[in-house]
Amino acid sequence: MSVQEYLDKHMLSRKIEDAVNAAVRAKASDPVLFISNHMRKAVPPVISKIKARQILDSRGIPTVEVDLYTNKGMYRASVPGGASTGIYEAVELRDGDKEKYLGKGVSKAVNMINEKISEALVGMDPLLQSQIDQAMMDLDKTENKAELGANAMLAVSIAVCKAGAAEKEVPLHKHIADLSGKSNPVLPVPAMTVISGGKHAGNNLAFQEIMILPIGASSFQEAMQMGSETYHHLKAVIVEKYGSVACNVGDDGGFAPNISSITECLDLVKEAIGRAGYNGRIKMAIDVGATDFCIGKKYDLDFTDPTKSGQNFRTGEDMLELYTKLCTEYPIVSIEQPFDKDDWEHTKSFSTLELCQVVGDDLLVSNPKRIERAVNEYTCNALNLKVNQVGTVTEAIEVVKQAKDAHWGVIVSHRSGETEEAFIADLAVGLGTGQVKAGAPCRGERLAKYNQILRIEEELGNQATYAGENWKLP
């Protein structure tokens, strides 16, 4: 084929002429650079290559990372993993080879991407998020993503979302908002972990997390300042009472003093809030993680202490009484997973008391069928969204819409095993959830999310809206 035939076949002469005319109209100071960029935009976007690899998360456990290439650039994404994974959530594909990473390797998921998913998606337009996600679901053919693995599918889905935003030349949160049909971004209230327990720490506290919510802040930046100052005051309080050895931290950065009493821990947080000068402006939240210590229909609050475990069980009614007491005595505005994943009865009983936001985590596992049941039965009034529990960006957007249609609160949440991936920050802003849970105001993999929201707030300028007092339904 001659040069002229090649130019004619691809209509390059016309495209080059258009680019030159555009450069002239724009009075471009660097015509060559302008024409180059103009030509790149004239080329339809297409996925040209997908390459996955195994990396390590914040706990030193393998997870999946993906590099997705288009004719415009390369877009990278990685996925988190949880310490407590529900039996009703999408399957996280692990190798099971005890000789490598104690069976937790993800080479199977990596191979699924490099061999099957890549073949199916190369050539597709990254702007077609829902079609691409559906193509992966069709390839998987299972309800819980057991064939390809939710970890494999989500890594690719997030990378596609980033590529779509780049193609449109808009921020990622704006692209997510467009995909969901939402127009006004909202900066969420951060639910910052300050004390860790349960499976997230090595202490004797059964409850998984105590968090602080700076709902009285005027901006996300001020919220982070309030949270950081309170966190450091809490460290001082703990050192004074128990010594510096009590200031070790859990998986998500919360302090882990060896205390088994939830009221003793709440007293520490309450004192820290007071010392920081934020009484009334900072509220508390608890992630109970009750599934982890439910045996049959009873709850073992000493399950982390092998010398006491199994000796002092609480019934569902006992736990209900405890939560009522805590909400009365402390400024608690939200309690997550207060009962076992299948204890719909007591969760509903607690919700009907209207003492605080009642968040479904293991109960719902971001599963649309379980959310539908909870909505119909008035079981809880908030969703804890973990994107790796559903497996694709499209499905995450859909379950948030499902929750919002029921007038529920929505928390976009991290996992205990995180990477430096900051996608959930843009997701929380773009979907306007009003709440984000990314751990303590320390540790790089947690701050990656909070710092990204700070950048978004700066970018939005006067258009930035902080959820604040409207954190439940912004």
Q: In whole angstroms, what is the distance from residue 133 CA to residue 139 CA?
A: 10
- The pLDDT of residue 200: 87
End-to-end CA gap in the chain: 60
* Helix %, strand %, coil % of the chain (to 5): 45, 15, 35
- The pLDDT of residue 16: 80
From the list 252, 292, 340, 426, the catalytic residue is 252
Say if residue 287 carries a ligand binding annotation: yes
From the list 386, 404, 449, 472, the catalytic residue is 386
Say if residue 275 carries a ligand binding annotation: no
Residue whose C-alpha is closest to residue 50's, from 136, 130, 131, 134: 136
**8 Å CB contact between 338 and 288:** yes
Q: In whole angstroms, what is the distance from residue 70 CA to residue 239 CA?
A: 52
Say if residue 65 carries a ligand binding annotation: no
SS3 382: strand
- ∠ CA 151-99-203, nearest 5°, is 70
SS3 306: coil
- ∠ CA 76-80-86, nearest 5°, is 145
Cα distances (Å, whole numbers) of residue 277 to 94, 169, 271: 47, 42, 10
Q: In whole angstroms, what is the distance from residue 195 CA to residue 440 CA?
A: 9
**Residue that has been written with the tokens 């596609």 in this structure:** 160
Q: In whole angstroms, what is the distance from residue 223 CA to residue 209 CA?
A: 19
Residue whose C-alpha is closest to residue 216's, from 287, 288, 284, 267: 284
Say if residue 157 carries a ligand binding annotation: no
Say if residue 40 carries a ligand binding annotation: no
SS3 436: strand
Residue whose C-alpha is closest to residue 268's, from 250, 280, 252, 256: 256
Task: Please state whether beta strands 357-360 and 332-336 pair in parallel, antiparallel, or not at all (unpaired).
Answer: parallel
For residue range 284-321, list pLDDT tens digits in order. Answer: 999 999 999 999 999 999 888 877 777 778 999 999 99
Task: Please state whether beta strands 294-295 and 298-300 pair in parallel, antiparallel, or not at all (unpaired).
Answer: antiparallel
Bridge partners of 314?
299
Task: Please state whether beta strands 434-439 and 409-413 pair in parallel, antiparallel, or not at all (unpaired).
Answer: parallel
Q: In whole angstroms, what is the distance from residue 8 CA to residue 14 CA?
A: 9
Query: DSSP of 13-24, one letter per residue?
Result: HHHHHHHHHHHH
Q: Which helix (H) or strand (E) holds 291?
A: none
Q: In whole angstroms, what is the distance from residue 454 CA to residue 66 CA?
A: 25
- 252 assigned to active site: yes
Say if residue 260 carries a ligand binding annotation: no
Q: In whole angstroms, what is the distance from residue 283 CA to residue 6 CA?
A: 67
- ∠ CA 67-70-72, nearest 5°, is 115
Q: In whole angstroms, what is the distance from residue 299 CA to residue 292 CA?
A: 9
To the nearest 10 degrees (0 to 180), the angle between helices 393-405 and 423-431 is 40
Which alpha helices (H) appear in 188-299, and where do they start and end?
220-242, 262-276
- The pLDDT of residue 1: 67
Residue whose C-alpha is closest to residue 83's, from 433, 386, 434: 386
- 386 assigned to active site: yes
Collect all residues with Cβ–Cβ distance below 8 Å to 11 and sequence separation of at least 6.
none
Flag residues of the chain having pLDDT under 70: 1, 6-7, 10, 83-86
Say if residue 416 carries a ligand binding annotation: yes
For residue range 332-382, list pLDDT tens digits in order. Answer: 999 999 999 999 999 999 999 999 999 999 999 999 999 999 999 999 999
pTM above 0.85, yes or no: yes
Say if residue 67 carries a ligand binding annotation: no
Q: How many CA atoms lie within 13 A of 57 on its CB side?
A: 26
Amino acid letter for position 263: T
Sheet with 313-314, side-by-side order of all strands: 294-295, 298-300, 313-314
Q: In whole angstroms, what is the distance from residue 236 CA to residue 214 CA?
A: 20
Say if residue 362 carries a ligand binding annotation: no
- ∠ CA 403-138-129, nearest 5°, is 55
